[in-house]
Amino acid sequence: MSSNAESNNTPPTVLGYIIRAISLFAIAAMIAYLVFQIAKPPKDIELELSPQVDQAREQNGQTLLPVEIRNVGSSTIRTMDVELTAGSTTHEVSIPMLGESETVTVVVDAPAPDAEISYKILSYEAP
């Protein structure tokens, strides 16, 4: 019996202390991350357009210009309808879902590869 009692009173080894320190650090890091996410102010729905001029191509007398649409807001957008205007040409695009910092590429008919592209959000749902 005395051997069992002595083995239970053995202090932790250096490895035991290291594992405890790593565990405490991981828990503190998770708590800090959650507090940061909660305290971060939400951003409104905002899109960033990036025309891919180097990938523009001519087809049947039209200039097809790929445009990357990036969600720079802080929430996911679901079922979004966007009106893209390239020069005098307007296109309505429907995007089923676009998460925070995600990018989707659409191809629009532009009068020229370097045409200025603007957008107007017609409607969207927030999940």
Number of domains in the chain: 2
pLDDT band per the 50, 70, 90 thresholds, residue 7: low
Provide the percentage of residues in the chain whose pLDDT is more than 70.
94
Do 52 and 97 lie in one domain? The reply is yes
Q: Do residue 51 and residue 35 come from a single domain? A: no
Closest among 89, 56, 77 to 125, alpha carbons compared: 77
Residues 62, 108, single domain; the answer is yes
The Cα–Cα gap between 10 and 63 comes to 78
> Domain containing 53: what range?
47-125
Same domain, 70 and 100: yes
> Can you give the CATH number for the domain in which 68 is found?
2.60.40.10
- For residues 71 and 89, membership in a common domain is answered with yes
Residues 29 and 54 in one domain: no
Q: Are residues 52 and 23 in the same domain?
A: no
76 pLDDT band (50/70/90 cuts)?
confident
Q: Do 66 and 107 have their domain in common?
A: yes
For the ranges 18-22, 34-38, 64-68, the one whose mean pLDDT is highest:
18-22
Is there a contact between 87 and 116 (Cβ–Cβ < 8 Å)? yes
Question: In this predicted structure, which of 24-28, 36-40, 67-71 has the lowest mean pLDDT?
Answer: 36-40
Query: What's the whole-model pTM score?
Result: 0.66
